[in-house]
Chains A and B, each alone.
Chain A
Amino acid sequence: MSTFAAVVLFIGVTAYAVLGGADYGAGFWDLTAGAARRGQAPRHLIDHTLAPVWEANHVWLIFCLVMLWTGFPSAFAAIMTTLYIPLGLTALGIVVRGSGFAFRKVVVKTDQQRATGAAFATSSVITPFFLGTVVGGIASGRVPADGHGNPVTSWVNPTSLLGGVLAVGVCAFVAAVFLTAEARTYADAGLERWFRRRAQATAVATGAVALAGIAILHADAGRLFYGLTGRGLPLVLISAACGLASIALLHRAAPRLLQALAVTAAGTVVVGWGVAQYPYLLGTHLRIDEAAAPDATLASLTLVAAAALLLVVPAMALLFVLHQRGRLDTA
Chain B
Amino acid sequence: MPGLSLVTVGVSLVLADPAQLLPAREQMAFTLGFHIILVPFGVAFTFLMLIANARGIRQNDESALLLARRWSQVAAVLFAVGAVSGTMLSFELGLLWPRMMGTYGPAFGIPFAVEGLFFFLEAIFVAIYVYGWRRMRPWPHFWTGVPVVLSGVGGTLSVVAANAWMNRPGGFTMRDGKIVQVRPLEVIFNGAFWYEAIHMLLAAYMVAGFVVAGVYAAGMLRGRRDRYHRLGLAIPLTVAALATPLQIFVGDVAAREVYRNEPAKFATIEAHPTTGTHVPEVLGGYYANGEVHGGLKVPSGASLLSGYSPSTRIQGLDAMPAEVRPPDRLVTIVHLSFDVMVGIGSALLALSAWYALAWWRRRDLPRSRWFLRATTISGVLAVVALEAGWVVTEVGRQPWTVVGHLLTRDAVATSGNLWLFFAATVALYAAVGAATVYVLRLLRRRWRDQGGATETDVPYGPPRASESTPAAGKA
A residues adjacent to B (C-beta < 8 A): 51-53, 55-56, 58-59, 61-63, 65-67, 69-71, 73-74, 76-81, 84-85, 87-88, 90-92, 94-99, 101-103, 105-107, 116, 146-148, 151, 293-294, 296-297, 299-301, 304, 307-308, 311-312, 315-316, 318-319, 322, 326-331
Do the beta carbons of B99 and A77 come within 8 Å of each other? yes
From B88, B117, B183, B416, residue with most partner A Cβ within 10 Å: B117
Do the beta carbons of B1 and A293 come within 8 Å of each other? no
Chain B window 1-23, contacts with chain A (Cβ cutoff 8 Å), 1 for yes, 0 for no: 11000000000000000000000
Q: Which of B130-138, B214-222, B255-263, B337-345 contacts A (4 or more CB under 8 A)?
A: B130-138
Q: 12 interchain pairs (CB within 8 A)?
A: A66-B116, A70-B108, A77-B102, A80-B101, A81-B413, A95-B429, A96-B428, A102-B76, A106-B442, A106-B443, A116-B435, A315-B121
Contact with B80, one of A55, A147, A293, A329 (Cβ below 8 angstroms): A55
Distance (Å) between the CB of B91 and the closest chain A CB? 4
Do the beta carbons of B116 and A63 come within 8 Å of each other? yes
Q: How far is the CA of A118 from the CA of B128 in the complex (A)?
A: 26
What residue in chain A is nearest B107 (Cβ atoms)? Answer: A297
Do the beta carbons of A329 and B135 come within 8 Å of each other? yes
Interface residues of B in 406-432 (CB under 8 A from A): 413-416, 421, 424-425, 428-429, 432
Given A98-B80, A101-B80, does the pair A328, B416 have CB atoms closer than 8 Å? Answer: no
Chain B window 143-161, contacts with chain A (Cβ cutoff 8 Å), 1 for yes, 0 for no: 0000100000000000000
Contact with B90, one of A65, A74, A84, A102 (Cβ below 8 angstroms): A65
Do the beta carbons of B110 and A70 come within 8 Å of each other? yes
Residues of B within 8 Å of A151, CB to CB, are: 415-416
Residues of A within 8 Å of B125, CB to CB, are: 315
Residues of B within 8 Å of A55, CB to CB, are: 79-80, 83, 123, 126-127
Q: How far is the CA of A66 from the CA of B114 in the complex (A)?
A: 9
Residues of B within 8 Å of A304, CB to CB, are: 113-114, 116-117
Do the beta carbons of A322 and B116 come within 8 Å of each other? no
Residues of A within 8 Å of B357, CB to CB, are: none
Q: SS class of chain B's interface: helix, strand, loop or mixed?
A: helix
Do the beta carbons of A66 and B102 come within 8 Å of each other? no
Q: How far is the CA of A96 from the CA of B2 in the complex (A)?
A: 36
Do the beta carbons of A326 and B135 come within 8 Å of each other? yes
Given contacts A77-B105, A116-B435, 15 further A-B contacts (CB under 8 A): A59-B83, A81-B98, A88-B91, A92-B424, A97-B84, A99-B80, A293-B182, A296-B183, A308-B120, A311-B121, A312-B117, A315-B125, A322-B128, A328-B127, A329-B135
Do the beta carbons of B127 and A88 come within 8 Å of each other? no
Residues of B within 8 Å of A76, CB to CB, are: 94, 98, 101-102, 105
Q: How far is the CA of A323 from the CA of B132 in the complex (A)?
A: 10
Going nearest first, the 6 A-B pairs with the smallest beta carbon separation are A70-B109, A77-B102, A73-B105, A102-B80, A293-B106, A80-B94
Q: How far is the CA of A97 from the CA of B87 in the complex (A)?
A: 12
What residue in chain B is nearest A329 (Cβ atoms)? Answer: B134
Residues of A within 8 Å of B134, CB to CB, are: 329
Contact with A328, one of B87, B135, B147 (Cβ below 8 angstroms): B135
- Asked whether B60 is an interface residue with its Cβ less than 8 Å from the other chain, the reply is no
Do the beta carbons of B102 and A98 come within 8 Å of each other? no
Do the beta carbons of B416 and A70 come within 8 Å of each other? no
Do the beta carbons of B1 and A147 come within 8 Å of each other? yes
Do the beta carbons of A327 and B124 come within 8 Å of each other? no
Contact with A58, one of B87, B107, B115 (Cβ below 8 angstroms): B87
Distance (Å) between the CB of A238 and the closest chain B CB? 28
Do the beta carbons of A70 and B112 come within 8 Å of each other? yes
Residues of A within 8 Å of B283, CB to CB, are: none
Residues of B within 8 Å of A296, CB to CB, are: 181-184
Residues of B within 8 Å of A91, CB to CB, are: 87-88, 91-92, 95
Do the beta carbons of A106 and B439 come within 8 Å of each other? yes
- Asked whether B179 is an interface residue with its Cβ less than 8 Å from the other chain, the reply is yes
On chain B, the number of residues with a Cβ less than 8 Å from chain A's Cβ atoms is 78
Residues of B within 8 Å of A330, CB to CB, are: 131
Given A59-B123, A297-B182, A315-B125, does the pair A66, B112 have CB atoms closer than 8 Å? Answer: yes
Q: How far is the CA of A226 from the CA of B179 in the complex (A)?
A: 35
Do the beta carbons of B124 and A328 come within 8 Å of each other? no
- Asked whether B28 is an interface residue with its Cβ less than 8 Å from the other chain, the reply is no
Residues of A within 8 Å of B117, CB to CB, are: 304, 307-308, 311-312
- Asked whether B119 is an interface residue with its Cβ less than 8 Å from the other chain, the reply is yes
Residues of A within 8 Å of B456, CB to CB, are: 331
- Asked whether B231 is an interface residue with its Cβ less than 8 Å from the other chain, the reply is no
- Asked whether B93 is an interface residue with its Cβ less than 8 Å from the other chain, the reply is yes
- Asked whether B77 is an interface residue with its Cβ less than 8 Å from the other chain, the reply is yes
Residues of B within 8 Å of A308, CB to CB, are: 116-117, 120
From A66, A90, A148, A327, residue with most partner B Cβ within 10 Å: A66
From A65, A300, A327, residue with most partner B Cβ within 10 Å: A300
Q: How far is the CA of A103 from the CA of B116 in the complex (A)?
A: 25
Contact with A66, one of B104, B113, B421 (Cβ below 8 angstroms): B113
Do the beta carbons of A98 and B113 come within 8 Å of each other? no
Distance (Å) between the CB of B461 and the closest chain A CB? 10
- Asked whether B465 is an interface residue with its Cβ less than 8 Å from the other chain, the reply is no
Distance (Å) between the CB of A180 and the closest chain B CB? 22
Q: How far is the CA of A307 from the CA of B88 in the complex (A)?
A: 25
Q: How far is the CA of A107 from the CA of B304 in the complex (A)?
A: 55
Q: How far is the CA of A328 from the CA of B133 in the complex (A)?
A: 8
Q: How far is the CA of A327 from the CA of B115 in the complex (A)?
A: 28
Residues of A within 8 Å of B87, CB to CB, are: 58, 61-62, 91, 94-95, 98
Distance (Å) between the CB of A81 and the closest chain B CB? 5
Q: How far is the CA of A66 from the CA of B159 in the complex (A)?
A: 12
Do the beta carbons of B80 and A88 come within 8 Å of each other? no
- Asked whether B277 is an interface residue with its Cβ less than 8 Å from the other chain, the reply is no
Q: How far is the CA of A238 from the CA of B1 in the complex (A)?
A: 39
Do the beta carbons of A62 and B1 come within 8 Å of each other? no
Interface residues of B in 175-224 (CB under 8 A from A): 179-184
Q: How far is the CA of A188 from the CA of B88 in the complex (A)?
A: 38
Residues of B within 8 Å of A293, CB to CB, are: 105-106, 109, 179, 182
- Asked whether B235 is an interface residue with its Cβ less than 8 Å from the other chain, the reply is no
Do the beta carbons of B110 and A300 come within 8 Å of each other? yes
Do the beta carbons of A98 and B84 come within 8 Å of each other? yes
From A90, A95, A101, A318, residue with most partner B Cβ within 10 Å: A95
Distance (Å) between the CB of B76 and the closest chain A CB? 7
Do the beta carbons of B120 and A312 come within 8 Å of each other? yes
Distance (Å) between the CB of B434 and the closest chain A CB? 11
From B86, B106, B147, B416, residue with most partner A Cβ within 10 Å: B106
Do the beta carbons of A77 and B98 come within 8 Å of each other? yes
Residues of B within 8 Å of A312, CB to CB, are: 117, 120-121, 124
What residue in chain A is nearest B81 (Cβ atoms)? Answer: A99
Do the beta carbons of A70 and B113 come within 8 Å of each other? yes
From B84, B88, B136, B413, residue with most partner A Cβ within 10 Å: B84
- Asked whether B309 is an interface residue with its Cβ less than 8 Å from the other chain, the reply is no
Residues of A within 8 Å of B114, CB to CB, are: 304
Interface residues of B in 44-82 (CB under 8 A from A): 73, 76-77, 79-81
Residues of A within 8 Å of B81, CB to CB, are: 98-99, 102
